[in-house]
Structures are given as structure tokens and as C-alpha cells.
Structure 1
């Protein structure tokens, strides 16, 4: 229905006859009696309530998201890298935002900026840019890991390298 607002945690609390903190505990897996948990979940279903990932992220200071920057998603090696990161992230309950810089440091900087605005918890990148480009990025996002490339002037940024001596 156009124009209808989404149910809020306050709406669920009112419908279930409990406080907002109780609703929060139900959806975060906190300690709540089985009867109260079912009453809150029933009210949430009735109202079509969905917890806000954005709100949870603000409270926990985590987005649950990881940025992945690769040169090209169609290259077989990079596609395998993307698949591995997605699989690992999924197993940890994280989501991944994937983008391709196509070897363009300016495009890469735009991607890093956008990921920082989205408050991702970390960035995994096959860097196209220089050490100077990434020095600023490391200040924007505290968790950066390089994949398949090392920038010697940035020893504080860890790198994961392919263990394939035949791959150049």
C-alpha cells in the first residue's frame, strides 16, 4: 500500500503490551520468557514488522557489511575470490557489497568513499591505487585488507596473497 508507514518497534511494543526494551531483547536473542517472546513475535507478524538493520547498526556501531573491491568480476580468478568472500561472509552472517574499479584509482576512491558512507565494517580490496591513495582510505575505514597485491609502503594493511607461484 503506497503511503503506509512501516511498523516500528514502538508499535510492536504497544500491540504486545510490553516495553520497547523487551521487543529489542526478543529480536536480539536476549533473555525473555517464552510466553512474552511469542506475544511479541505474534504482534510483529500482525503488524508486518521488520527489525531495522540500520537502527541495529547504529546502536551496535556495526553495519554487518563488508565492502569488496575487485578490478573485474568476470576474470575467473577474481570471480573465485568474490565467491569465496561471499561464502565466508554468509557463514558469519555478514553481507557483502561488491564493486569493480576496473583498474581505475579514481573509481576505486569513489567506491571506498561510498563504502565509508555506508559504514561498512571492513573493506577487502585488490588495490588499483597507490600507497598515497590507500593511506586516506585506511583512515576512513579502520579494517582494510588487501587481496592479491601488497603495497609495500603500507605495512599496516594486511594482505592475503594467492599461493600459486605460476600465477602472475
Structure 2
């Protein structure tokens, strides 16, 4: 495998931005420059492709990094981003990172060498150092469904706090007092949890921290957590899973343990994927306006690529609670 700019930066102990500056004969400290040139020679690194991109030559290609194409919500985003990009004359190269920091860095470096004009980074992106280096290199980047306040970067997302708030308020209005949460360890989930907590407080209900569980989002882990929740001396009467796939896994475990849905256990998801309409019973969930979000993310990126906008925007769309038959009045 050919060495990447990430390999050079890693071995030289400098940032990708420093390697780029050396390649473009920009001002860099003497010692850093010598280290980078030495490593480039040792690795037989050929930077000509990247160098052409950094000098302003566009390829009408966008790199799209996403966490997992097996998730139907993520697959839906990919399709809509690709469609919008094609409408505007751009091609998309898609890479699935599995939320792995090394994969994220590798694919960013690889796509840079392929001269992509900019990046859409969807979902949680663990390696924020790589995002910072892209921004330092003035490579256009837009985040989709996440935002990082400590980075000056365009982002498009839903109001996750409001989504969490609406779910908890709705369940509380049905008489549920013990509402469990199964979440991923990502920023959007934390915002949904904060919304859930605020709604319970506003409804005069106690926030039971023991009912808030963090999962690795695999079906096996969600099933394990659901079983543990249902085996509690005072189990929850409702579960809010922070994406539809986790909600479906929770439904599967509840049935295995003999719980009827929604009569004995109400379950709510998040994302409103196609799967949410085909479950038995159909899943109550929160819809993200993904068509509008994906259109906006591509438009923002291409405007930056083509020099039409230098301002950074944090665009937030409103979620919508979709009530179906997986929830009912608490008996």
C-alpha cells in the first residue's frame, strides 16, 4: 500500500498541515521541514496528486465519510447527499469508518491524495484532530448530524435536545414515570439525554440515573441492556432508544421476555427510518428532515469549495415526533 500524508505526519511527529506546508514550500520551522523531507524520502512518498489539489485545481469530487452503511438512516443520508451532489455536477466517494479513529484518519488522508475538493463528515467523528488539520489546511468541511462547538466548521443537524425533550414529555403525558434511555456515546445522544432530563423535571418527575444506559449500539449490547432493565425489581414502563435500530433490538428482547408492546412496555426510537414503519407494532419515533438536511449540507460545502461563501454556519433543523403503535397509556 502506498504511503499517505498521514503516514508521513505520524512518522515525522508533525501535523498533516505541516506536511502540506512543506510540500507547498510555505513557511515552516527548519527542524520540522527537515524531518518531513527526510520521512518523505524514507517512505518514498509521492505528493504530486495532493499538491495539485492544494494549488487550487478542482476535481468536482467530494469525500463522504460516514460511520456505518448498514444503518438504514446512514444509508439514506448517503443516497440523498449523492443525489444532491450529482444535481450540482459533483461526484461522491463514500468511505465507512466504523467510528474508528485510525480509519477516519486513513480515509481522510487517502481522499486528500485523490484530490477531493472537500469533505462531508456524517455522524459522530471520533478523530476531531483530523478535522482541525483539514480546517487548518483550508480544505472545505461540513459536518452532518453532529457539531463541535470548539471547531469553526459548517454543520447541519437536528435539534437533538428538543427531540429528546418531546419524547420524554410525550411518554410522561401517557403516565409513564420510569422511562429508560439506551444511548450511544456520541454528542447528539448526550443532547437528547439532556432534553429528556429537562422534560421529566418540567413534568415533576424524578430523573433516575440508573435508567440511563450507554451502549456500543450493537444489537447484542442493546439486547443485554434491555434484559437488565426489564429484570430490575421496578422495571421501566417505557424505553427511549436513541436510534431506530436500537429500538428494534429492544423490542425483540422485550418479546423474548414475554412483555407485550405497548401494553406492558412502550418503546420509542429516533430517526424515522423505513424499518420503523415495518416493525410489529409500528415504531413511535422522531423524524429528522434528512432530505432538507442533506440538501443543505451539500449546498454549504459546494458554496465553500467554489469560493461563494467563507462564513461558517451551524444550521439546526426541527425534529418531529411520529406517534405510532409502539406506545400507549401507562396502565
Which SS does the other structure have where 2:148 is aligned?
coil
Q: What's 1:92 paired with?
A: 88
Work out the CA distance in 2 between the residues paired with 1:80 and 1:137.
Answer: 26
Work out the CA distance in 2 between the residues paired with 1:75 and 1:161.
Answer: 18
From 125, 129, 135, give the equivalent of 1:128.
125
User: Which piece of structure 1 moves more, 127-136 or 68-77?
Assistant: 127-136
Q: What's 1:38 paired with?
A: none
Quote the offset at 1:162 in angstroms: 3.2
Work out the CA distance in 2 between the residues paired with 1:97 and 1:134.
Answer: 18
Quote the offset at 1:137 in angstroms: 2.6
TM-score normalised by structure 2 residue count: 0.31
Unaligned runs of 5+ in 1: 1-53
Work out the CA distance in 2 between the residues paired with 1:153 and 1:90.
Answer: 32
What is the count of residue pairs matched by the alignment? 112
Contact 1:146 1:158 in 2 (8 A): yes
Larger Cα Rg: Structure 1 or Structure 2? 2
TM-score normalised by structure 1 residue count: 0.59
Q: What's 2:149 paired with?
A: 152
Which SS does the other structure have where 2:64 is aligned?
strand
Contact 1:123 1:141 in 2 (8 A): no
Contact 2:134 2:140 in 1 (8 A): no
Q: What's 1:106 paired with?
A: 102
Change (3 A) 1:153 1:102: same
Cα displacement string for residues 99-158 of structure 1 (whole angstroms, at most 9, x for unaligned residues): 00000011001010011111111100024224333211323461000011111210x111
Q: What's 2:64 paired with?
A: 68
Cα displacement string for residues 57-78 of structure 1 (whole angstroms, at most 9, x for unaligned residues): 9797111100000000111110
Quote the offset at 1:92 in angstroms: 1.1
Which SS does the other structure have where 2:62 is aligned?
strand
Moved over 3 A (4+): 57-60
